[in-house]
């Protein structure tokens, strides 16, 4: 264990799903990215932080793995209370110089707050971000107003909270307080340590209520940019009795030749989606030389491209496909094709367009030698 490292400990052990969405709020997505992934990214990308450890609730391993993808974090199980979870996380980390203890539900962490916290640790064993109280405070037992409480000297407490690692671990091990602490500054002060307050940030507000998620989505939406990608594909006709088109088996006097199932429609949309994130093309992700893709269902390719867009926090707004051929007729299958594409992309059908045209018997499609498809995809992505 490296005793000189600075480690971030994210507490994500809550199981509260009452806000809706069916899963604990730290695993819910905000603008396409899970809350906990945003918290991890904010800490892991800070140059002073060497490692990130996450404390999760019982049975949340699969949720964490899905939310974090290939992000390099360690994790361990939490306990019955927040205090138990933090202590378990500190024990799992083992050794460090400083630790920043953070709540997963505060995903929008400006780097400047981390700078201020770590700077303050030169002068004390603990430092926390706080904000001034701006609202009037009153006692309101039972709905009838009581006395107004002076705001003088009061502050609102945020996380991450930064500590000398040995000091906060010992303080947690020695905690004897009567009331359950709601943050780690209380534990540090209980052990006699001085805890400094540094300016927090309004961006760090905790995502608690449904409206908090909506506000965060709206704020992130304002800094998303539109991307448009295009895709083109061609496959030659060969002997056979059906073609695969937009995931559907369509009876025809010929088949389409290709390494995979030769679905020109899905291939064009896949390339259009890859274009929105500037991430190569279908051939670079699924090379025809790879035997794994022989006869492959092209729905797999499309869903992989969509997952890459999603991993970048992207939102697919619309896909528009044009199929170019003399036959088979697309019209009778248009609605089913839209439904299948919408299903593969988990999009409302109103955001999926399928069009068809001939080339007036000109060129290879006009001579019925093959089919072509063109697609355009519109995506919103967080600003880079």
Site residues (vs Mg ion, CB under 5 A): 233, 267
Closest separation in Å from C-beta 223 to Mg ion: 35
The rounded distance, in Å, linking the Cα atoms of 60 and 51 is 21
Of 117, 118, 121, whose CA–CA distance to 130 is shortest?
Answer: 117
317 phi and psi, to 5 degrees? Answer: -90, -35
Q: 216 or 268: whose CB is closer to Mg ion?
A: 268
Q: 26 or 374: whose CB is closer to Mg ion?
A: 374
Crossing angle for the helix pair 264-276 and 298-311, nearest 10 degrees? Answer: 10
Do 235 and 258 meet the contact criterion of CB atoms below 8 Å apart? yes
Closest separation in Å from C-beta 275 to Mg ion: 15
Q: What is the 8-class DSSP label of residue 379?
A: E
The rounded distance, in Å, linking the Cα atoms of 57 and 54 is 10
Q: 250 or 311: whose CB is closer to Mg ion?
A: 250
The rounded distance, in Å, linking the Cα atoms of 309 and 305 is 6
The rounded distance, in Å, linking the Cα atoms of 321 and 300 is 18
Q: 53 or 267: whose CB is closer to Mg ion?
A: 267
The rounded distance, in Å, linking the Cα atoms of 292 and 295 is 9
Closest separation in Å from C-beta 246 to Mg ion: 13
Q: 99 or 306: whose CB is closer to Mg ion?
A: 306
Closest separation in Å from C-beta 346 to Mg ion: 23
Closest separation in Å from C-beta 233 to Mg ion: 4
Closest separation in Å from C-beta 355 to Mg ion: 19
Closest separation in Å from C-beta 277 to Mg ion: 19
Q: 37 or 245: whose CB is closer to Mg ion?
A: 245
Closest separation in Å from C-beta 258 to Mg ion: 6
Q: 175 or 364: whose CB is closer to Mg ion?
A: 364
The rounded distance, in Å, linking the Cα atoms of 173 and 84 is 10
Q: 197 or 234: whose CB is closer to Mg ion?
A: 234
In a 3-state reduction of DSSP, which class is residue 217? helix
Residue nearest to Mg ion (CB): 267
Other C-beta atoms closer than 10 Å to the C-beta of 120 total 18
Sign of CA pseudo-dihedral 12, 18, 19, 23? positive
The rounded distance, in Å, linking the Cα atoms of 242 and 255 is 5
């Amino acid at each position: 264990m490296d005793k000189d490292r600075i480690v971030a400990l994210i507490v994500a052990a809550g199981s509260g799903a009452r806000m809706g969405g069916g899963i604990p709020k730290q695993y819910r997505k905000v603008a396409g990215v899970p809350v906990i992934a945003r918290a991890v990214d904010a800490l892991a990308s800070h140059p002073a932080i060497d490692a990130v450890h996450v404390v999760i609730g019982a049975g949340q391993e699969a949720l964490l793995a899905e939310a974090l993808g290939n992000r390099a974090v360690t994790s361990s199980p939490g306990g019955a209370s927040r205090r138990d979870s933090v202590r378990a996380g500190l024990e799992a980390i083992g050794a460090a110089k400083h630790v920043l203890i953070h709540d997963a539900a505060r995903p929008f962490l400006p780097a400047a707050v981390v700078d201020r916290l770590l700077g303050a640790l030169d002068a004390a064993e603990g430092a926390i971000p706080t904000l001034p109280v701006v609202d009037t405070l009153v006692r309101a037992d039972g709905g009838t107003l009581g006395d107004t409480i002076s705001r003088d000297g009061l502050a609102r407490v945020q996380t991450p909270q930064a500590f000398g690692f040995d000091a906060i671990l010992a303080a947690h091990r020695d905690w004897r307080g009567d009331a359950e602490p709601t943050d780690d500054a209380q534990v540090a002060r209980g052990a006699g340590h001085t805890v400094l307050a540094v300016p927090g940030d309004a961006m760090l507000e905790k995502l608690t209520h449904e409206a908090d998620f909506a506000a965060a989505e709206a704020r992130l939406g304002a800094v998303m940019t539109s991307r448009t990608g295009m895709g083109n594909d061609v496959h030659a006709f060969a002997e056979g009795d059906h073609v695969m088109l937009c995931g559907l088996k369509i009876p025809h006097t010929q088949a389409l030749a290709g390494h995979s199932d030769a679905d020109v429609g899905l291939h064009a949309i896949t390339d259009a989606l890859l274009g929105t994130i500037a991430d190569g093309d279908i051939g670079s992700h699924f090379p025809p030389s790879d035997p794994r893709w022989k006869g492959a269902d092209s729905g797999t390719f499309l869903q992989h491209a969509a997952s890459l867009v999603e991993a970048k926090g992207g939102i697919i707004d619309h896909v528009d496909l044009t199929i170019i051929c003399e036959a088979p007729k697309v019209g009778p299958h248009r609605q089913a094709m839209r439904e299948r594409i919408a299903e593969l992309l988990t999009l409302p059908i109103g955001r999926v367009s399928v069009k068809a045209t001939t080339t007036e018997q000109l060129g290879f499609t006009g001579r019925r030698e093959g089919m072509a498809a063109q697609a355009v995809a519109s995506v919103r992505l967080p600003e880079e």
